C-alpha cells in the first residue's frame, strides 16, 4: 500500500495558548471549515470535539491534548473538490492551564509548527510565556493569532506590542483588523492590500475586496512597508532590488517569508475572532504557506544504543523506521493507546517493533488515526505522520520505537517536577485493589503525576503540578476506574539542600561469628547550581535528578564493583533528607577515599557506610529547606489594588511589577506556594468576584528560618 498523501502536503502543528485565549474555540472552527464536522461545538455549551472528556466539558477547560486529522483546501483554490490541492493537517489542541503544562511540552516535541493564540484583550499572559519558552527550546516555527477582537476592551495594537515586548522582536503584522470590539467586521491582508470579509451564517465564505476603508489606508501603507522590509531583510538579492525601488513579486515575498518562518527568524501575526467566525481560514492558509512540512525540518538526531554514535533520521519512507511515543491514554473502548510520531520509515499494523529505550520487542496490533475521541483504523503509517497504537504493553512517554536492525534512541522529553502532594486512601477494601491499578495507569499517562508510599506510615502519596491537577486525577479515578478515595489536605513538595562544602568518613564494620561486614568510604559533599532546563553535562559527569556523583578513587582502594553501591547508599540517604525528611537535591558528592576487606567487604556494607557518611557530611554542610516559589499574575479592577498588594505582601509575596491592561490593573508577583492554597476563593471575596489569578511554578528558594521551624515541628 502506498502513501496516500505526499509529505510536502502534510502539516503537523499544535494550537497553544494561555487558558481562556480561545484555543479550543479556534480548533472547533478549524474542524468545521475543513469539513471534519458539520456543526460547530461551543465551549460554553459543553459540546466541543477536542474537549471530549466529561471533566473538560463541565469545567470548560482543556485537560488532555487531543489529536485530530483533517484536510484543508486553501481559500484561493477555486476547485474545492480537486483532491490534489488538499493539505493534510495533523493538529493537536493543547491545554492552556499551567497544571497540564506536560501536555504542551510533549506535544511541541513532536510537532513541526505551532499556532499561538492570544486573547485580544489580555495580550501576552503568563502561560503564553511558558509555552513560548517550550517552543523556543524545541525550535518550533510558529505563527500568532490575536483572537477575541470582538470583545469589549480588545486592542490589536496593544496585544501585538505585548508580543514584541515579552516574547519576540521577530513578530510582524500580516494583517490589521477592520474595526474592534462590536465594530470588528473583517481584516486587511497587508501583503495583497485587500480587505477580507467572512460572509455566511458561519463565516464560511471568504470575500476579498480591493477597496480598503478610507480611515485605514494610511495605516495599511505604513505597516505594509514595515512588513516588506522585514521580509526582504532575510534575502540579500531581494534586499538589493528593494533598495533600488523594485518590490519583489507576491510569490517571491511568500517564498522568502516561508524560509524565514521555518528558520524562526520571523513570526507572522494574524488576527480575528474565532467565536464570531472571522479570520480562522486565513490562519489555515498561513499554516500551509509558512509552517513547515516534515520535509522542511532538520533530520532528527539520536544515538545508536549499540555503538553510542550519533545517527540521523530523515523524513523518508525508505529509511529505517523510527518513532517517538509522546503520550499514553487509557481509552474505555480499546484499552491503552500509545500516541507516536513517525520520524522516518513506515510501520504496518501486525508487524513487530523494537523499543530501544527498554530493549524489548512488541507486536504492533492495531494502528488508529484520531479524530479526538473517534478512531479510524489504518493499515500503515508513514514518515511525518502522527497516529496511535492500540495495546502496546511496555511503551511509555518518551520511549523510542524503531526497527531492531537499525536501533536508535531519540532524546527524551524532560518534564517538570511535581510541586503539590496529598495523602490518598481507598474508602473500601474493594477500592484498595482497584486504586493501585488506577494510579499506575494514570501515572503512566502523565509523567508529572507521581505515586509513592510513605515508608513510615505506609500511606500512599500522590504528587502533581497543582491543586486542580490532583483534583482532576481523583475525579478521573472515580469516573473511569470506579475507585472512591479519601484524600488529605494538599501539601507542598518541599526539598532540602546544602549551602557549603563538608567532608565525612564512615567505616561500617560488623563482626558476627563467621563472615563479617566491612565498608569504608570518605566523601566530600558540595552544593550544586540549581539545574535549569538545557544544562546537561558538567565535569564530564551527567547531571540527572539534580545530583552529581563523582568517583575519584585511585589505585583500586575501593574495587570497582562496590562503587555503584556507594552511589546507591548516597541516593537513598538523599531521598530521606536530614532537616525534615524531604528529598534532597542540587548536591554534588565526590567519593575520594576508603578501604576494603578481601573477605568481609560487600555491596550492602558499602551502601550503609556511604549512607551514614552522607548524613554526617550533609549535617555539617549547613542544610536548609527549599520551597516552591510561584509566578503569580493577578488581574483586578483598580479600586482593589491596595488591598491585593497588601494581602500578597502578608503572604511573603514579592511584587515585581504592576501594569495596566485595558480598564484593569495587573499585579505580577512571586509568592511561596504554601501561601497560595485556596487563594482564588479569597481573591474573589476581596474583589467582589471580579479578580482573576493565574500561577505557575518558577523556582525553589530557601525557606526563612521561622517558617522552617514550623514545618519541622509539623513533620514530627
Q: 55 with 187, same domain?
A: yes
Question: Residue 332: which pLDDT band, with cuts at 50, 70 and 90?
Answer: low
Question: Residue 98: which pLDDT band, with cuts at 50, 70 and 90?
Answer: very low
Is 232 part of a structural domain of the chain?
no
Is 711 part of a structural domain of the chain?
yes
Q: 559 with 526, same domain?
A: yes
**Range in 361-375, 416-430, 563-577 the model is least confident about:** 361-375
Domain span including residue 558:
496-621
Distances (CA, A) of 540 to 183, 451, 504, 544, 548: 61, 32, 24, 13, 10
Residue in this structure with the C-alpha cell 515579552, named with its chain if needed: 166
Name the 3-class secondary structure at 548: strand
In this model, does residue 43 exceed pLDDT 50? no
Distance CA 460, CA 182 (A): 53
In degrees, to the nearest 5, what angle opens at C-alpha 693 toward C-alphas 689 and 699? Answer: 155
Q: 476 with 539, same domain?
A: no
Is 271 part of a structural domain of the chain?
yes
pLDDT tens for 207-250 read 888 888 888 888 989 999 889 989 998 888 888 888 888 888 88
Counting every residue written for the chain, the total comes to 716
pLDDT tens for 119-140 read 888 888 766 777 787 788 778 8
CATH number for the domain including 370? 2.40.30.10
Is 605 part of a structural domain of the chain?
yes
Is 358 part of a structural domain of the chain?
yes
pLDDT tens for 518-568 read 899 999 999 987 755 433 334 434 445 678 888 888 888 888 888 999 999
In this model, does residue 486 exceed pLDDT 90? no
DSSP character for 212?
P
Mean pLDDT of the chain: 80
- What residues does 635 pair with on adjacent strands? 666, 692
pLDDT at 53 (0 to 100): 40
CB 470 within 8 A of CB 100: no
Question: Residue 638: which pLDDT band, with cuts at 50, 70 and 90?
Answer: confident
Question: Residue 105: which pLDDT band, with cuts at 50, 70 and 90?
Answer: low
Q: 157 with 277, same domain?
A: yes
Q: Which of 568, 589, 621 is the last residue of a domain?
A: 621
CA 139 distance to own-chain centroid: 14
Q: 382 with 435, same domain?
A: no
Is 89 part of a structural domain of the chain?
yes
What is the pLDDT averaged over residues 619-642?
Answer: 88
Name the 3-class secondary structure at 708: helix
CATH number for the domain including 167? 3.40.50.300
Q: 163 with 139, same domain?
A: yes
Is 417 part of a structural domain of the chain?
no
Q: 632 with 514, same domain?
A: no
What is the pLDDT averaged over residues 272-301?
Answer: 86
Q: 399 with 503, same domain?
A: no
Is 241 part of a structural domain of the chain?
no
Question: Residue 141: which pLDDT band, with cuts at 50, 70 and 90?
Answer: very high
Q: Which of 471, 493, 515 is the last residue of a domain?
A: 493
pLDDT tens for 349-383 read 888 888 888 888 888 888 887 654 466 788 888 88
C-alpha cell recorded at residue 183: 465594530
- What residues does 195 pair with on adjacent strands? 188, 209
Q: 433 with 401, same domain?
A: no
pLDDT at 290 (0 to 100): 92
333 Cβ partners below 8 Å, 6+ apart? none
In this model, does residue 36 exceed pLDDT 60? no
- E strands, 531-676, are 537-538, 541-542, 547-551, 587-595, 623-637, 654-661, 664-672
pLDDT at 502 (0 to 100): 92
Question: Residue 48: which pLDDT band, with cuts at 50, 70 and 90?
Answer: very low
In this model, does residue 54 exceed pLDDT 80? no
Domain count, the chain: 5
- Identity of the highest mean pLDDT range in 440-444, 532-536, 631-635: 631-635
CB 426 within 8 A of CB 447: no
String of DSSP letters for 286-349:
HHHHHSPPTTTSPPEEEE-TTT--EEEE-S-TTSPPEEEEEEEEEETTTEEEEEEEEEESEEET
Distance CA 355, CA 326 (A): 13
In this model, does residue 93 exceed pLDDT 70? no
447 against 607, higher pLDDT: 607
CATH number for the domain including 464? 3.30.70.870
214 Cβ partners below 8 Å, 6+ apart? none
- What residues does 632 pair with on adjacent strands? 669, 695
Answering whether pTM is above 0.95, one says no
- With a pLDDT cut of 90, the percent of the chain lying above it is 12
Q: 11 with 148, same domain?
A: yes
Q: Which of 621, 638, 667 is the last residue of a domain?
A: 621
Question: Residue 62: which pLDDT band, with cuts at 50, 70 and 90?
Answer: very low
Q: 359 with 272, same domain?
A: no
Q: 400 with 426, same domain?
A: no
Question: Residue 610: which pLDDT band, with cuts at 50, 70 and 90?
Answer: very high
CA 407 distance to own-chain centroid: 27
Question: Residue 659: which pLDDT band, with cuts at 50, 70 and 90?
Answer: confident
CATH number for the domain including 693? 3.30.70.240
Question: Among 655, 579, 659, 581, which Cα is nearest to 621's?
Answer: 579
Amino acid at each position: 500500500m502506498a502513501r496516500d498523501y505526499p509529505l510536502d502536503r502534510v502539516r503537523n502543528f499544535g494550537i497553544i495558548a494561555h487558558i481562556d485565549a480561545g484555543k479550543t474555540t479556534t480548533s472547533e472552527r478549524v474542524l468545521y471549515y475543513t469539513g471534519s464536522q458539520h456543526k460547530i461545538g461551543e465551549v460554553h455549551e459543553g459540546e466541543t470535539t477536542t474537549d471530549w472528556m466529561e471533566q473538560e466539558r463541565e469545567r470548560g477547560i482543556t485537560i488532555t491534548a487531543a489529536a485530530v486529522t483533517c484536510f484543508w483546501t486553501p481559500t484561493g483554490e477555486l476547485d474545492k473538490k480537486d483532491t490534489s490541492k488538499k493539505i493534510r493537517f495533523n493538529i493537536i489542541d493543547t491545554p492552556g492551564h499551567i497544571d497540564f503544562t506536560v501536555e504542551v511540552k510533549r506535544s511541541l516535541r513532536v510537532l513541526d509548527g505551532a499556532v499561538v493564540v492570544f486573547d485580544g484583550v489580555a495580550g501576552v499572559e503568563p502561560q503564553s510565556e511558558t509555552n513560548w519558552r517550550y517552543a523556543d527550546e524545541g525550535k518550533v516555527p510558529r505563527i500568532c493569532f490575536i483572537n477575541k477582537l470582538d470583545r469589549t476592551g480588545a486592542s490589536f495594537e496593544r496585544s501585538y506590542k505585548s508580543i514584541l515586548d515579552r516574547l519576540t522582536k521577530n513578530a510582524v503584522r500580516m494583517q490589521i483588523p477592520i474595526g474592534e470590539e462590536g465594530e470588528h467586521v473583517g481584516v486587511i491582508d497587508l501583503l495583497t492590500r485587500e480587505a477580507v470579509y467572512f460572509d455566511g451564517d458561519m463565516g464560511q465564505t471568504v470575500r476579498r475586496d480591493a477597496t480598503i476603508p478610507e480611515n485605514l489606508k494610511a495605516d495599511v501603507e505604513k505597516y505594509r512597508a514595515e512588513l516588506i522590509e522585514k521580509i526582504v531583510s532575510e534575502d540579500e538579492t531581494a534586499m538589493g532590488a528593494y533598495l533600488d525601488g523594485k518590490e519583489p513579486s507576491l510569490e517571491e515575498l511568500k517564498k522568502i517569508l516561508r524560509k524565514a518562518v521555518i528558520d524562526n527568524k520571523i513570526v507572522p501575526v494574524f488576527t480575528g475572532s474565532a467565536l464570531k467566525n472571522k479570520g480562522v481560514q486565513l490562519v489555515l492558509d498561513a499554516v500551509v504557506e509558512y509552517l513547515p512540512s516534515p520535509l522542511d525540518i532538520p533530520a532528527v538526531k539520536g544515538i545508536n544504543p549499540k555503538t553510542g554514535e550519533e545517527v540521523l533520521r530523515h523524513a523518508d519512507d525508505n529509511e529505517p523506521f523510527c518513532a517517538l511515543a509522546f503520550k499514553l491514554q487509557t481509552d474505555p473502548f480499546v484499552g491503552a493507546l500509545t500516541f507516536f510520531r513517525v520520524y522516518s520509515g513506515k510501520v504496518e499494523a501486525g508487524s513487530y517493533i523494537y523499543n530501544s529505550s527498554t530493549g524489548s520487542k512488541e507486536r504492533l496490533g492495531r494502528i488508529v488515526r484520531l479524530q479526538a475521541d473517534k478512531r479510524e483504523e489504518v493499515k500503515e503509517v508513514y514518515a511525518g505522520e502522527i497516529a496511535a497504537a492500540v495495546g502496546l504493553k511496555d511503551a511509555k512517554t518518551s520511549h523510542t520505537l524503531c526497527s531492531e536492525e537499525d536501533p536508535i534512541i531519540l532524546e527524551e522529553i524532560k518534564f517538570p517536577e511535581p510541586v503539590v502532594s496529598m495523602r490518598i486512601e481507598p474508602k473500601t477494601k474493594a477500592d484498595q485493589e482497584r486504586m493501585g491499578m488506577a494510579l499506575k495507569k494514570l501515572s503512566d499517562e502523565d509523567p508529572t503525576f507521581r505515586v509513592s508510599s510513605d515508608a513510615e506510615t505506609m500511606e500512599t502519596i500522590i504528587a502533581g503540578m497543582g491543586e486542580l491537577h490532583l483534583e482532576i486525577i481523583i475525579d478521573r479515578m472515580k469516573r473511569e476506574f470506579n475507585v472512591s478515595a479519601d484524600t488529605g489536605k494538599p501539601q507542598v513538595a518541599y526539598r532540602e539542600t546544602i549551602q557549603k562544602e563538608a567532608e565525612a568518613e564512615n567505616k561500617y564494620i560488623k563482626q558476627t561469628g563467621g563472615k563479617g561486614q566491612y565498608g569504608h568510604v570518605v566523601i566530600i559533599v558540595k552544593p550544586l547550581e540549581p539545574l535549569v532546563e538545557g544544562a546537561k553535562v558538567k565535569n564530564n559527569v551527567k547531571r540527572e535528578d539534580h545530583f552529581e556523583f563523582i568517583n575519584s578513587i585511585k589505585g583500586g582502594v575501593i574495587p570497582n564493583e562496590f562503587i555503584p553501591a556507594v552511589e546507591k547508599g548516597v541516593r537513598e540517604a538523599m531521598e530521606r533528607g536530614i532537616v525534615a525528611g524531604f528529598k534532597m537535591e542540587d548536591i554534588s558528592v565526590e567519593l575520594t577515599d576508603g578501604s576494603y576487606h578481601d573477605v568481609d567487604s560487600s555491596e550492602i556494607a558499602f551502601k550503609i557506610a556511604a549512607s551514614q557518611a552522607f548524613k554526617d557530611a550533609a549535617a555539617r554542610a549547613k542544610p536548609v529547606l527549599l520551597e516552591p516559589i510561584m509566578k503569580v499574575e493577578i488581574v483586578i479592577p483598580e479600586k482593589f489594588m491596595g488591598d491585593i498588594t497588601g494581602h500578597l505582601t502578608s503572604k511573603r509575596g514579592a511584587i515585581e511589577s504592576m501594569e495596566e491592561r485595558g480598564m484593569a490593573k495587573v499585579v505580577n508577583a512571586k509568592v511561596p506556594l504554601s501561601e497560595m492554597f485556596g487563594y482564588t476563593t479569597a481573591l474573589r471575596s476581596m474583589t467582589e468576584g471580579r479578580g482573576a489569578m493565574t500561577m505557575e511554578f518558577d523556582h525553589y528558594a530557601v525557606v526563612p528560618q521561622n517558617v522552617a521551624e514550623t514545618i519541622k515541628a509539623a513533620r514530627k
